Structure 1
Amino acid sequence: METFDLSRLTDFDFEAVCKDLFEEELGVRLELFAAGADGGVDLRHLSSAGESLVVQCKHWHRSGRAKLIEHVENTEAAKVAKLKPQRYILATSASLTKGAKDKLFEILQPYVKTPSDIYGKEEIDALLRKRDHIVRRHLRLWLTSASVLNSLLAKNVVTRSQALAEEFDGTLRTYAVNPSYDRALELLESRHVCVIAGIPGIGKTTLSQVLSAHYMAMGYELVEISEDSDEANHLWNDELNQVYYYDDFLGQTTFDEKLAKNEDSRLLSLMKRVSRSPNKRFILTTREYILAQARQRYERLDRHSFDVHTCVIDLSDYTYQARASILYNHVYNSPLPQTVKQSFAEKRVYRPIIQHRNFNPRIIAVTLAESGLLSGHHESLSDDIVANLEDPYRIWDHIVRNQLGETDVKLLKLILTFMSDIRLDDLQELWMELGEPLRELRKALGVLDGTMLRSMHQYGAVHVGFHNPSVRDFLVNYVQSDIGEVTSLISMVRRFEQLETLWLIFPAPGGGPMAETYKRRRDQLEQVASMVFHAEPVNLRNSRHGKNYVRRAWLCLEMGLDLESEVIRELALEAASDADTILNASESTDLHAFFQTLARHKTSRGEEIMFDCISWAVEWIMGDLSDWNLIEEAEDFLRSIEHYDPGIEVSEALARLDSVRDDYAESAFEDWAQTHRDPVFSGSEMKEVIDHYKAIGSTDPFDMSEYDNVLQRLDEYDAGHETPFAAPRKDSAAGLAWNEVREVQSMMQTLRESSD
């Protein structure tokens, strides 16, 4: 028998749920009132004859029934006697025994006509079980019932750690429904794939987690992706309903964090595969400008129609009512003293926040969470929120400049020199190389973990990274504003990944704003580059390869050209002169970037190296054409370097590639035409093969006498992989609940009189 965890509801949520329940149960329309001025009336109905019905809602889940009885006897009974309603109903989230009900009935006579007019948690659970449409209307109620959250840990491949379950729990407690929820859900239902985009802190991760929880409540298994789309393919199960969750799939700060080899192709293939699978959903998040950068760099991504899959969250989604809900939920669920919570019911306190032009949910959450660090007292908390909305970096600036020690700041800067989370073992090794004792590292982690940093167990090791992207954003600006900090950061470089991070997150290439700063530190950079060019890589969370000399050569060639440094250029050219550098490349995008930069090196030596590198690159890309995606990638890459080739080697490779493609397509088609059970080639790949030849207007690889049969088999393949699932009710979208509740003022005033 299902029970509902009413403790996760706010006071305001509980009243809204009671309103919907008792309107149906009693068959009347109930007015919803704010606490305070109306003498404790929460819900009221006045009949045409003037008789009054009052429903009092007491969200009394923490203090228990003994305190509830005491409160009703000492406070509520007098209010009821003053109101003199014809009928009075008490609804509470506390669990009530028969004795407790009888005691409350005795206190509230003659206005409570029968003990049945006193509803405890058990009675409310029973009413909810009979009214699924009301449960579904209140998102926080049904997404936080025990069956939903427990499913996070019940599946054997669901999540990487309990940390994600705890993160979902916090998200669901504070989420406020807004129009982006319905838009994203509609995309997922119609196209099965949704890319959630928006500015930092606008609520992308929050929305993606709520949507994931929505599907989990419908019986879907959650698969978190943290590295690349291959994780989804490895855990794909045709028989299961699955929702794939990929947060910040293009990185947090700049797209130069790059996709792994063939990841653009694999990612798009996975999106296509999910879109064709009725029992799969794919939720991705990214910042809008990073998606734009990715589409500029990756031709495949640029060709894909992301617009039809993208739900952009912007400030227009946050009406004043939605903003008030966000503020209310965070204040209600915070550990702040009750007097501080009550202060947010004042118009002069909440209005400047919810009406602010830079309203941002993350800033609200972080300011409340870090209120002790920010001001040391709570009297200025609302002012802190407004000030942080005016200047988002202020929240961290005050902490860094006034609350943290020198060692704490040094650790933050060291973490900044890596694009991704770093293993604690590697962090300790680097810390000692910088001449710092490990006890200082442990102390600094103790101060920062849970605030500006977070540590987590993943893949059998502890990783350390920034608690959220706003910390990295602040530190980038913090360092960039002070040349002394730039020098300090450069002095921390002991691995090539750190040098790469500095060059990519601080805009210097092509004469960017950091170019002159770097030029004044050219000697220092030359020394550092020479030291780390051959250094062993750090085991980052997203690291997949060893030394990637193509990427190292590209980066140093770009640095050398922009800084006019012969020393750094020579590191790149020496590596590029070695065939193994190209033949052991990790990904074609790195090679493409290298060729673009090498083309700027207009010297006879540069032209000679270009000629050799193209020959090696053709050999490398043509060395593995074992599947359709690799063939597609090879063509994209060869087209991208064709104009650099002084000879005909690339043109000849493209001609050979056409022949390989036709042979592959013919084999795949024959497989589907002749194999009666499970073909070797996947149905999604076969569809891509046919779509390609349709696009170029050719049918040469196919036996046209079997063409219609193969198409029919592909349709049957889709139908055979369809797993029934419960579609969401059209009349139960969570956003509808907010159309039926009180205005912003009533919502905030609920903070005045917390039930317990």
Structure 2
Amino acid sequence: MSAPDYDFKSLSPYDFEVLARDLLSAHDGVTYSTYRIGADGGVDLQAHTGAGLVIAQCKHTPDASKATLVRVAKAEREKIARLSRRPKRYVFVTSAVISASDEQEVAETLDSVADTVEVHGRGWLNAVLSDHQHLERRHFKLWLTSTQAIAEMLRGGVFLRGESRIRRIQRNYLRFVHHDICTQAEAVLSSTGCVLLTGAPGAGKTAIAEYLLLQWWHRGYRIIVDPRDVDRWWEWVEDDTPTVFFFDDTWGQTRYGDHGSRHYDSDVYEFIETVLEKNTDAIPSKLLIMTSRIQVLHDTVRLSDASRRALELIGKCRVSLGRLPAEVCSRILFNHILHGITDSVARRKLAEGGWWHDIVRHRNYSPRIVELIIKRNGHGDGEALINDLIQSLDNPLEVWGSSFKALPEYDQQLLLSLSVMDSQRVPWRKLDRRLENIKTAESGFEAAIERLDGSWVTCECVEGIQYFSLADPSQRDYLTRYLSISPSAMSRLIKNTVEFEDLAPICTQGMAIELAGQQRLFSLGEDLLRNVLDTCADTLLARVRELWQREVDAKMPVFDSGKGDGELFALLFAGLIQVVHYHADRYRAKPNGSVLPDGWFARELNELTVAGQLTQIGTVSELADTLTLLSDTFHHFAEQRIHPAIAKATVELEDLCRSFWDSRDPQMSRATGDRSQAEELARAVVENAEALVQFVVSPKLHGMSTESIDQAVATYIRLSGEPEEFIERFEVIESAFGFLLPESREVINGLLDSTDWEHPPSRGAMVNSYFSQSVQQKTAASSVTPVDALFRSLAPLEEP
């Protein structure tokens, strides 16, 4: 980037003071400390040197005239005269442009305060920045506003939320406040190559992540933001370009599984493992930044083995955001006021009293709510803004209530549809189809998007396709709450679904889940949609059956043609289990009714049996993998309280699974030799042992000896290097084979007893550690800095 020539107008008074501190420390080779903010008695910064005390005063007055600076200098001279100790050197730093004669006049005004007096203006600050570029990188608020910086970001990175993500960073940077967690996160990322930022909604996870992105972009790293194409992950991670990857809301935006991809958790685990393996150099070439809401992380650990392993892998990389210190909250609030309120009358009002103390100490204080309220209103009345802030903190969900209720019905249905879809990225056609049956006088989809764009909805275009997202996760919280108390809105939403997968998220949100002890800003209940779905049970279940039948009708021709494979059959099977499960889950809403309509389940099971008979499976591995997919479905289903009619249906489905295995004699891979066949069988059975045991089926040995199978299993375990995992499930593995594996057991024992093997902590201990503070917050050496004078600086500076 070009030599600095900043006007420093993008900095708040506190930002300017920190910049001046860093520049003076670097220039003088001594450490300046921030004395206090505000009514400081003439001291902003001070340093103790061998020659004596050095005091610096910082005046962020970028547009000040010479006369104003002289007046300010006279006031400072009177303050310094009252100090008990006379400084050896006094430095007056201003962001204003000053000429040599201006500098001399201000210095003469301060001549009596110290043995040596220095006056530095904008030119001096830029000159020192050019000599210390690492400080320029850290103080990113200086350079982020430039068009050149934005253009370079777009050229050098892959922003799958497009330019809107960069523009958001550019818009939000003014409000950003650097604090201890930023330093901790930066240190963790530098040392490990990975950082996971966790916390409650609105705690500032994304703000810190974007700060880290900017730091590494300025060091020459390519930026990859929210990549959805898994294949590209491996392409980017294997090339030679230094890269930082950013996965925002890694395992879901407002609940686990928002990403909607079947294999996503496994892909993320493998990707994290790959990034960590590559970070063996002193300067990592591949970095990974992730964020997650704390309640989503709870669900992730509980529901996903792959995600649990990933979190074990990065146990030392987690940085938790709790409640920020009052000083940090105050500076965030101040920055929002400073850059969001321009009316001079309102600013004078906001500079009075101590109202900010009530805001930053509020139990629901959140930077996000502060941002939303100020952005929404552009208040010309300071008192009205204060009241709005307090009311919104008292009832956070209503931040969006008045705006939503004022929208046309079509717009409301569009947003409600988006709230139960993947709110991070929905193709326009998929969303538009959900609204085709809604009558509107407002010109339909395009007009609604135009009305909602920027406030409720964001749009990006990738390869000619428009994708839509809710602009803020808190909007989704509000919309979910709205659906929970509006049966009519929920019924319309159900009736307008187009595919079976449209209903799955709605039904899933209505199931009871255990989320005890989770931190929640918007207090979403464990079974928030359960009551409203009970009210709409008839409409919901009829639509579920109808849409699932459409899915079966669409897939059956594939099986009839002889092209249906095991995975497709498993997905179809899982769909039927979901339908049955949703009926069981809604049973309490129809205590006197039939759980499954007469004859319906028999017909669907018969059709599924036909599909199973036509399924093409070529290897034992493919068959075993298919059974595991079915087992995963049954495992979830079996945990629920099931009505007798559905329990009987479950037995029939299990019989189908066993017949599915027994009616096949899948061939081994085409590799010749008993050893190769044994290796394939060993892998398939070890990886799918639980499913084989559940369905009481045994693998066919195809003439191979039990000794050769045992040797193949032992080799598999030895190569994996994870004996702890196998010892926990070894009895299940032996049960799946139907015979003992003595050589494999010896291999496990040998690995566990070896001197170079470190026993990892138990899984229970690891899970508990996820939710404890991983990095201790630094304790300030001095008491909390007063901020009253910082807010009082909101009042415009009066010219003489």
| TM-score normalised per structure 2 | 0.71
Q: What is the deviation of 1:166? A: 1.7
Q: Are 1:236 and 2:275 matched, yes or no? A: no
Q: Deviations over 1:133-182 (max 9, x none)?
A: 65566565588888875542231646552222222323433222333323
Query: Which structure 2 residues correspond to residues 502-651 of structure 1 after superposition, within 5 A?
Result: 502-507=506-511, 514-515=529-530, 517-534=532-549, 549-563=572-586, 564-567=594-597, 573=605, 576-579=608-611, 591-596=630-635, 606-613=650-657, 616=660, 638-645=688-695, 647-649=696-698
Indicate if the aligned counterparts of 1:202 and 1:313 stay in contact, CA closer than 8 A: no
Q: Deviations over 1:572-623 (max 9, x none)?
A: 6456434369879999886344323665566666434323335658989999
Q: Which residue of 1 aligns with 2:759?
A: none
Take 2:787 and 2:607, find their aligned partners in 1: how far apart are those partners?
Answer: 64
The amino acid across from 1:18 in the alignment is A
Take 1:735 and 1:150, find their aligned partners in 2: how far apart are those partners?
Answer: 37
Indicate if the aligned counterparts of 1:158 and 1:223 stay in contact, CA closer than 8 A: yes
Take 1:470 and 1:562, find their aligned partners in 2: how far apart are those partners?
Answer: 28
Take 1:753 and 1:587, find their aligned partners in 2: how far apart are those partners?
Answer: 70
Distance of aligned partners of 1:191 and 1:229 in 2 relative to their CA distance in 1, 3 Å threshold: farther
Aligned residues: 684
Distance of aligned partners of 1:418 and 1:410 in 2 relative to their CA distance in 1, 3 Å threshold: same
Q: Which residue of 2 aligns with 1:277?
A: 278
Indicate if the aligned counterparts of 2:107 and 2:118 stay in contact, CA closer than 8 A: no
Q: Deviations over 1:430-461 (max 9, x none)?
A: 32333346714334323322122222223431
Q: Deviations over 1:188-238 (max 9, x none)?
A: 233322222222211222222222222223322222234265432121234
Q: Which residue of 2 aligns with 1:449?
A: 453
Q: What is the deviation of 1:637? A: 6.4
Indicate if the aligned counterparts of 2:484 and 2:528 stay in contact, CA closer than 8 A: no
Q: Which residue of 2 aligns with 1:185?
A: 186
Quick one: percent identity of the two aligned structures? 19
Indicate if the aligned counterparts of 2:196 and 2:318 stay in contact, CA closer than 8 A: yes
Indicate if the aligned counterparts of 2:200 and 2:322 stay in contact, CA closer than 8 A: no
Q: Deviations over 1:73-94 (max 9, x none)?
A: 7965775797798998664445
Indicate if the aligned counterparts of 1:195 and 1:311 stay in contact, CA closer than 8 A: yes
Q: Which residue of 1 aligns with 2:320?
A: 313
Q: Over aligned residue pairs, what C-alpha RMSD do you find?
A: 5.2
Indicate if the aligned counterparts of 2:341 and 2:347 stay in contact, CA closer than 8 A: no
Indicate if the aligned counterparts of 2:413 and 2:435 stay in contact, CA closer than 8 A: no
Take 1:632 and 1:468, find their aligned partners in 2: how far apart are those partners?
Answer: 48
Distance of aligned partners of 1:266 and 1:658 in 2 relative to their CA distance in 1, 3 Å threshold: farther
Take 2:706 and 2:457, find their aligned partners in 1: how far apart are those partners?
Answer: 48
Distance of aligned partners of 1:55 and 1:582 in 2 relative to their CA distance in 1, 3 Å threshold: farther
Indicate if the aligned counterparts of 2:345 and 2:380 stay in contact, CA closer than 8 A: no
Q: Are 1:426 and 2:430 matched, yes or no? A: yes
Distance of aligned partners of 1:487 and 1:737 in 2 relative to their CA distance in 1, 3 Å threshold: same
Q: Which residue of 2 aligns with 1:728?
A: none
Distance of aligned partners of 1:33 and 1:397 in 2 relative to their CA distance in 1, 3 Å threshold: same
Take 1:347 and 1:620, find their aligned partners in 2: how far apart are those partners?
Answer: 82
Q: Which residue of 2 aligns with 1:493?
A: 497
Distance of aligned partners of 1:287 and 1:419 in 2 relative to their CA distance in 1, 3 Å threshold: same
Indicate if the aligned counterparts of 2:484 and 2:531 stay in contact, CA closer than 8 A: no
Q: Deviations over 1:518-568 (max 9, x none)?
A: 34433322432244225589xxxxxxx999534432321211223354247
Distance of aligned partners of 1:531 and 1:442 in 2 relative to their CA distance in 1, 3 Å threshold: same
Q: Which residue of 1 aligns with 2:397?
A: 393
Q: Which residue of 2 aligns with 1:216?
A: 217
Extract unaligned runs of 5+ from structure 1. Answer: 61-66, 538-544, 669-685, 705-733
Extract unaligned runs of 5+ from structure 2. Answer: 82-86, 112-116, 515-525, 553-566, 587-593, 731-740, 748-776
Take 1:625 and 1:72, find their aligned partners in 2: how far apart are those partners?
Answer: 88
Q: Report SS of the residue matched to 2:290.
A: strand
Q: Deviations over 1:9-67 (max 9, x none)?
A: 222211222234346656796875656796x986689999999977452342xxxxxx5
Q: 2:787 aligns with which of 744, 747, 750?
A: 744
Query: Which structure 2 residues correspond to residues 276-295 of structure 1 after superposition, within 5 A?
Result: 276-278=277-279, 279=284, 280-295=286-301
Indicate if the aligned counterparts of 2:486 and 2:532 stay in contact, CA closer than 8 A: no
Q: Deviations over 1:317-352 (max 9, x none)?
A: x11111112212222232542443454444531001
Q: What is the deviation of 1:640? A: 3.8
The amino acid across from 1:639 in the alignment is A
Take 1:656 and 1:298, find their aligned partners in 2: how far apart are those partners?
Answer: 36
Indicate if the aligned counterparts of 2:420 and 2:505 stay in contact, CA closer than 8 A: yes
Q: What is the deviation of 1:569? A: 5.0
Query: Which structure 2 residues correspond to residues 671-710 of structure 1 after superposition, within 5 A?
Result: 689-691=720-722
Q: Are 1:3 and 2:4 matched, yes or no? A: yes
Distance of aligned partners of 1:215 and 1:340 in 2 relative to their CA distance in 1, 3 Å threshold: same
Q: What is the deviation of 1:264? A: 2.8
Q: Which residue of 2 aligns with 1:408?
A: 411
Q: Report SS of the residue matched to 2:443.
A: helix
Q: Which protein has greater RCO, CA pairs closer than 8 Å, 6+ apart?
A: 1
Indicate if the aligned counterparts of 1:509 and 1:559 stay in contact, CA closer than 8 A: no
Distance of aligned partners of 1:4 and 1:350 in 2 relative to their CA distance in 1, 3 Å threshold: farther
Indicate if the aligned counterparts of 1:59 and 1:755 stay in contact, CA closer than 8 A: no
Distance of aligned partners of 1:146 and 1:343 in 2 relative to their CA distance in 1, 3 Å threshold: same
Query: Which structure 2 residues correspond to residues 336-351 of structure 1 after superposition, within 5 A?
Result: 336-351=342-357
Q: What is the deviation of 1:423? A: 1.8
The amino acid across from 2:298 in the alignment is A
The amino acid across from 2:252 in the alignment is G
Take 1:334 and 1:657, find their aligned partners in 2: how far apart are those partners?
Answer: 74
Indicate if the aligned counterparts of 2:20 and 2:58 stay in contact, CA closer than 8 A: no
Indicate if the aligned counterparts of 1:197 and 1:287 stay in contact, CA closer than 8 A: yes
Q: Which residue of 2 aligns with 1:717?
A: none
The amino acid across from 1:206 in the alignment is A
Indicate if the aligned counterparts of 1:179 and 1:735 stay in contact, CA closer than 8 A: yes
Take 2:181 and 2:46, find their aligned partners in 1: how far apart are those partners?
Answer: 33
Distance of aligned partners of 1:55 and 1:180 in 2 relative to their CA distance in 1, 3 Å threshold: closer
Take 1:388 and 1:468, find their aligned partners in 2: how far apart are those partners?
Answer: 16
Take 1:695 and 1:597, find their aligned partners in 2: how far apart are those partners?
Answer: 23
Indicate if the aligned counterparts of 2:3 and 2:130 stay in contact, CA closer than 8 A: yes
The amino acid across from 2:584 in the alignment is L
Q: Deviations over 1:84-136 (max 9, x none)?
A: 98998664445x4xxx61563586474378xx965443321211233456556
Indicate if the aligned counterparts of 1:331 and 1:368 stay in contact, CA closer than 8 A: yes
Q: Report SS of the residue matched to 1:490.
A: helix
Distance of aligned partners of 1:550 and 1:606 in 2 relative to their CA distance in 1, 3 Å threshold: closer
Distance of aligned partners of 1:395 and 1:602 in 2 relative to their CA distance in 1, 3 Å threshold: closer
Q: Which residue of 1 aligns with 2:20?
A: 18
Q: What is the deviation of 1:688? A: 6.8
Distance of aligned partners of 1:108 and 1:506 in 2 relative to their CA distance in 1, 3 Å threshold: same
The amino acid across from 1:477 in the alignment is R
Q: Are 1:260 and 2:264 matched, yes or no? A: no
Indicate if the aligned counterparts of 1:576 and 1:609 stay in contact, CA closer than 8 A: no
Indicate if the aligned counterparts of 1:183 and 1:311 stay in contact, CA closer than 8 A: no
Take 2:707 and 2:230, find their aligned partners in 1: how far apart are those partners?
Answer: 27
Take 2:145 and 2:666, find their aligned partners in 1: how far apart are those partners?
Answer: 50
Q: Report SS of the residue matched to 2:332.
A: helix
Q: Which residue of 1 aligns with 2:475?
A: 471
The amino acid across from 1:457 in the alignment is C
Q: Report SS of the residue matched to 1:463.
A: strand
Distance of aligned partners of 1:82 and 1:662 in 2 relative to their CA distance in 1, 3 Å threshold: same
